[in-house]
Amino acid sequence: MIIDTSPAIGGRRERTISTFGAGVGLESAGALSGFVVSGRWPENTLEWVKFLVIAVRVASVPGLLPMTTVFRVREELPDEPQPGTVGLVLAEGTLIGDRALSPGQFSDPQPSGLLVLHPPSETRPSLPEYDGVASGCVLLPGLPHLGLDHRAGWAEADHTGAVTSMRGLAGIDPMDDADTAVLAMLLAA
């Protein structure tokens, strides 16, 4: 998945989305392994929530995300980047099982963001009439003692494009939500 956020002609910013196969390494053995970000990084909480909505839509494709998975924002390029590539958001592991992550795993260096994506089999949709809904959360850690608040966003969507829930907040206490609490635990030193 490439998410292109480069400016368009005339100063309007438009986002184009294109997908590609395992040749770029974002799909491994039929499972979602990450995203390539192109153009520029999301600049604010709302743009990160929009990125999350796209990621959740992809996660809702049957069989692509077998279990809840944590993704790390990496400001590095793939081995053979396409023009305009600015970085990666890669699957790092799960919360349980063989690939379970440990507390503090992302404390040094701390990433600029972590995402957790839940497949439809592990999501209870906020709108019960929708089936096949995946969900996710993005945590953008701040430095509260310096006046930089923690920010987060949550989304639910299905692979047809229906967004059933989307919200972003600044100034959050990560312990007030299960997803942000787990992501904060992975960041804690």
Q: What is the pLDDT of residue 108?
A: 83
Q: What is the pLDDT of residue 155?
A: 97
> What residues are paired with 167 via a beta bridge?
154
Whether residue 32 has pLDDT greater than 50? yes
Whether residue 26 has pLDDT greater than 70? no
Amino acid at 22: A
Whether residue 72 has pLDDT greater than 80? yes
Q: What is the pLDDT of residue 135?
A: 97
Least confident stretch, 40-54, 99-113, 142-156: 142-156
Q: What is the pLDDT of residue 78?
A: 85
Q: How far is CA 82 from CA 78, 164, 181, in A?
A: 9, 33, 35
Per-residue confidence at 80, pLDDT binned at 50, 70, 90? Answer: confident
SS (H, E, C) 73-113: EECCCCCCCCCCEEEEEEEEEECCCCCECCCCCCCCCCCCC
Pair type for strands 85-94 and 34-38 = antiparallel
125, two tokens: 């949709």
Whether residue 89 has pLDDT greater than 50? yes
